[in-house]
Structure 1
Amino acid sequence: MLTFYDKLSQDFTKLLESEYNYDTIIEKLANTIKGNNIFNIKLPNISVKTFNIVVKYIYGGVVTLENLETSDIFNLLITFNEFNFSESIDRLQTLLIEDNASWL
């Protein structure tokens, strides 16, 4: 498990788990459309699995890598790069190089 900014965002994970205030649908970053106070954002190149990890990272600063295939970690690295999460990019690159060099 990789933890980033845990003191800053540790309480926000409870918001993610809440059943209330689901008012954002994410589909694409460019050309967002707002209707009835709901923003639709499309992300066509990011899998649901990777996106769920990204959302948990945004809310809680934690990335759980257990039960992830090396290809999932690599896809997560690409996605973090798209979002410019520089601290997590460095940590994931190091992890891939040190623990999964043969896969690369």
Structure 2
Amino acid sequence: MVDNKFLPKLSQNLLEILDDDEYYDITIEVGNEPHIKIFHAHTVILNYRSSYLRRILSTNKKKINGTLIHIKLPNISPKVFQIILRYIYGGKLSLVEYDASVIIKILVAASELDLQELIPHIKHIWLRIKQTG
């Protein structure tokens, strides 16, 4: 029997890792001028959660001299990337507080990042919004 009672604590710990500015090994620059933001993250988590990022990281290994990996994702806004990054780390996504335009942007970003388990979930929510709206 599988006991899932520990998953909320694991999710919380992974989000704490995301918020910790000490042990990151990658910076991700998102957005376009004048709305650019740099996020700190961990290659090992990104590698396993996004096949798109895995492909980027496989060609961009950490330098021998300890230089951080830096990637750019100009097609994703900082607001949307923050939502996606919290999903990648914590496995949670609530869309109730966002309007339709933000949900569409999250769907596009999830598609770009190849987050296969998230795409159908967002599409389902989008269809419910369209039916009720």
What SS does the corresponding residue of 1:19 show, helix, strand or coil? coil
Larger Rg: 2
One-letter amino acid matched to 1:7: L
> What is the distance in 2 between the residues matched to 1:81 and 1:20?
30
> What is the distance in 2 between the residues matched to 1:44 and 1:60?
23
* Match 2:92 to one of 44, 53, 62: 62
Matched, 1:75 2:123: no
RMSD: 2.7
For normalisation by structure 2, the TM-score amounts to 0.61
CA contact (8 A) 1:32 1:39 kept: yes
> What is the distance in 1 between the residues matched to 2:61 and 2:89?
23
Larger mean CA deviation between 6-15 and 73-82 belongs to 6-15
Matched, 1:7 2:3: no
1:94 alignment partner in structure 2: 124
CA contact (8 A) 1:33 1:40 kept: no
Provide, for residues 19-72 of structure 1, a one-character-per-residue CA deviation record: whole Å limited to 9, x for no partner: 322442113865758564301100010000011011101110111223211111
Structure 1 unaligned residues grouped into runs of 5+: 1-5
Q: Which runs of 4+ in 1 moved over 6 A?
A: none
Matched, 1:45 2:45: no
Residue identity over aligned pairs, in percent, reads 30
Higher relative contact order (CA 8 A, sep 6+): 1
> What is the distance in 1 between the residues matched to 2:29 and 2:61?
10
1:3 alignment partner in structure 2: none
